[in-house]
Amino acid sequence: MRTAPTILHLDMDAFFASAEQASKPSLRGKAVVVGGLGPRGVVATASYEARVFGVNSAMPMAQARRLAPNAAYLVPRFGFYRSISEQVMGLLRALSPLVEPLSLDEAFVDLEAGGAAWDDESARLAGARLRADIRAVTGLTGSVGLAASKMLAKIASERAKPDGLVVIEPGSERALLGPLSVRTLPGVGPATGDHLRRAGITTVDEIAEAGEDELVRLVGKAHGHALYAMALAHDERPVVAERETKSVSVEDTYDVDIHDRIRVGLEVQRLSDRCVRRLRGAGLSGRTIVLKVRRYDFSTLTRSETLRGPTDDPGVVREAAARLLDSVDTTGGVRLLGVGVSGLADYTQEDLFAQAAGEQVDLLEEEHAEEEESGEQTAPVERRWPAGHDVRHSGFGHGWVQGSGLGRVTVRFETPEDAGPGRVRTFRTDDPDLEPADPLPLVTRDAGELTAASGQLVAPPPENRRPDDPPVASAQMSSEPASFPKSRSGREGGGATSRP
């Protein structure tokens, strides 16, 4: 175990919801829920204002609406979130070559490997600078935990939320971990937690007191050894810079069960094409095609077929997925379908030829996807306006969709730089002056400075920081996060909620 808190864990605060608040002045300080808006949708992220009402990630959207009926409910903009994540990950990689992303909004960093920290004080300074740089580059806030291991760094970042920095200094780990719930430890989920509770073990201290032999008896050899080590604050897992992608997949959950076998087949074809586009976007091909079907009774079936060689040909993937579907009984109805490709490899020469042959077909299919699904290629299709997504009007400028329905779409015209809520207008869904638009950047270039070495937008150096920049702070064996000023994404703002 290290002798300095040089493992950093970053967790962006309510990432999707905070990004939406930062880009929409009328939602700042308001309850915002991001996720699938259909009857079977699930909450992806809830703002801290929404969490006051009990709304949390992974909650059914219908339950969230009951708890917070006046919140703004928005469809995710994953491309927008990914672009912000790339900025944040760039800042992390400037600190160290050992960055282990866990998701778009979470990562571990080995500060010692990059020479960014070597003792307590340098680690605190690195964490404080990172938080300030993230704020300058993205306008958002992140919580930072620093410790001598990955497990403890993650616990520290949880204690730092929201918008704080917590350092767990070496030597204080056992006192900190002891009173915590067993669920705090990695790998202890609901089932293991209940099993331990029935044995009278509810805290980390009680895991240590039970002893290694008793834990092996209760949860098995591998898990028992690991739990005992973690209870003693031993975690030797290294920060791994690259994680090999094992599969590429897409899936859809349907608001109403699909009973028509032809419709099911068309959905599988559409998912196959989406999966191939994602596969090609990652520069990969794969040998094993996987079909996932969740039926009306929540039973989930998976079927797979391994090809002779890797492919990224949409026709090959469609045909394999169709063959797999033939082996599945969908009589009672289907609520979810998914198509994936595993056994991944870089492009081969055969893949490149297949790609060239399929590009023109792909282009035509994308242009007429909606007509093919409806079976009426010549009939006009009403444009869809997802709640929260960006639009531009020739007369009013940039805005975002508050809601749509009955042939109308309501738009609030505002940009991230606006000091207050923008005005609201309603249009026909087929208004020729209204078009989808790309998201605007949350922070303009003059909000920070470009370093000659990296070309990245970063905050000013410490000697030039503004009075409202976050100070350096730490906590020893403390359950309270450090206190820092709110970012612009947490400012109060007026405006109405979105009602899709």
CB distance 288 to 304 below 8 Å: yes
Could you give the angle at which helices 261-281 and 314-326 cross, rounded to 10 degrees?
A: 140
Buried b (16+ CB within 10 A) or exposed e, 222-246: eebebbbbbbbbebeeebebeeeee
If you compute the radius of gyration of the chain from its CA atoms, what whole number of angstroms results? 25
Determine the Cα–Cα distance for residues 393 and 402; give it in Å rounded to an integer. Answer: 14
Which of the following is catalytic: 20, 49, 100, 106? 106
Determine the Cα–Cα distance for residues 34 and 72; give it in Å rounded to an integer. Answer: 8
3-state class (DSSP) for residue 186 = coil
Residue ranges in 288-348 assigned as alpha helix (H): 314-326
Q: What type of residue is 219?
A: V
112 is catalytic: no
3-state class (DSSP) for residue 190 = helix
Instruction: Report the candidate in 169, 164, 144 with the shortest Cα–Cα distance to residue 154.
Output: 144
Residue ranges in 327-426 assigned as alpha helix (H): 349-367, 369-374
Beta strands in 429-469 (DSSP E): 434-436, 449-450, 457-458
Alpha-carbon dihedral sign for residues 443, 444, 448, 453: positive
Residues 6+ apart with CB under 8 A from 64: 33, 35, 43, 46, 50, 55, 71, 73
DSSP-derived secondary structure letter, 60: B
Kindly list the catalytic residues: 106
